[in-house]
Structure 1
Amino acid sequence: MVELKNRSAFHEYYFESTYIAGIVLVGTEVKAIRAGKVSFNDSYCQFHKGELFVKNMHISEYAFGTTQRHEPMQERKLLLHKKELKKLEAKIKEKGYTLVPLRIFFTDKNLVKIEIGLGKGKKVHDKRESIKKREVERDIKRYLK
């Protein structure tokens, strides 16, 4: 099972809640995701006319594709219930909140889903604390082995 994570997002943000959304894909994007050719660098989610889109997510072209190739950096629509979209849009309008894609995975029915997180940015000293906490946990695991 393929699962691709956005590791830098957990370093940059505190996440209050997460949501699982469907994603609209075209051409050979599914095969490229299955091959692990996704980059989350600086990707984020943005509302446009009441719809949610993920931007700056790079899905590389599939090497064995034919004429149905896709644009690697195109914005992709996310599929959520209207109730969830309205709640997220209200939260985003508050200062400091952002939506960030956390991971892409396949369900048991082979559907591509994306997990997005509603979070606030960390300050520099918060990042240092999370690094210290991670190192302490790593040392404890080494000691227990």
Structure 2
Amino acid sequence: MKKDNRFEKIINIKNKKARFEYEFIDTYVAGITLKGTEIKSIREGKVSLTEAYCYFRRNELYIKQMHITPYSMATVYNHDATRERKLLLNRKELDKLETKFEEKGLSIVPVRLFVNDKGLAKVEIALARGKKLHDKRQGIKERDVKREMSRLSY
């Protein structure tokens, strides 16, 4: 029997601050280990990625400071809002990321969180280098020029 997905809300939570603060070098899609109440809160769209970052501990990748609001319908079995969550990647991808991560000035930031067709929560992470102030100004200038060009085309 086919499942009717017309009424399901599409979840696509972006970290807009990361695109402004960092220059992305490489991106990966990783699974994430969650508790039952966490996935319910994600499906409601109650997630914040603005302060989140990733780090390695014992050759495993973890995400920290990702805020998932506690589920409103849960009782005493609710989750901690900012707990560490393990990210799931292949060993080859983890090794590649870890060697690049050890370079000076590189960090791993979450770019977006989404729910795929199977109903699993995925996190898109990026290996990134922090932008300098003049790079940010250049980005703002380019964005303003694009906006002006689009206004003139109408």
TM-score normalised by the chain length of structure 1: 0.97
Is the 1:3–1:105 contact (alpha carbons within 8 Å) kept by the matching residues of 2? yes
Residue 87 (structure 2) aligns with: 78
- Compute the displacement of 1:13 (Å): 0.3
Q: Which amino acid aligns with 1:97?
A: L
- Compute the displacement of 1:144 (Å): 1.5
d(CA) in 2 for partners of 1:120, 1:92 = 10
Q: 1:93 aligns with which of 89, 92, 102?
A: 102
Query: Of the two, which has the highest radius of gyration?
Result: 2
Q: 2:150 aligns with which of 137, 141, 144?
A: 141
Is the 1:61–1:69 contact (alpha carbons within 8 Å) kept by the matching residues of 2? yes
1:39 is the counterpart of 2:48: yes
d(CA) in 1 for partners of 2:98, 2:17 = 24
Residue 27 (structure 1) aligns with: 36
Residue 23 (structure 2) aligns with: 14
- Compute the displacement of 1:66 (Å): 2.6
- Compute the displacement of 1:68 (Å): 2.4
Residue 112 (structure 1) aligns with: 121
Alignment of 1:61-76 (within 5 A): 61-76=70-85
Q: What secondary structure does 2:134 align onto?
A: helix
- Compute the displacement of 1:40 (Å): 1.4
- Compute the displacement of 1:35 (Å): 1.1
Q: Which amino acid aligns with 2:21?
A: E
Q: What secondary structure does 2:86 align onto?
A: strand
Q: Which amino acid aligns with 1:74?
A: R
Q: Which runs of 4+ in 1 moved over 2 A?
A: none
Residue 50 (structure 1) aligns with: 59
Q: Which amino acid aligns with 2:13?
A: L
d(CA) in 2 for partners of 1:59, 1:102 = 15
Residue 127 (structure 1) aligns with: 136
d(CA) in 1 for partners of 2:40, 2:147 = 36
How big is each residue's C-alpha offset from its partner over 1:57-92, in whole Å with a ceiling of 9 and x where there is no partner? Answer: 110101111332100010100000000000000001
- Report the count of equivalent residues: 145
d(CA) in 2 for partners of 1:144, 1:64 = 49
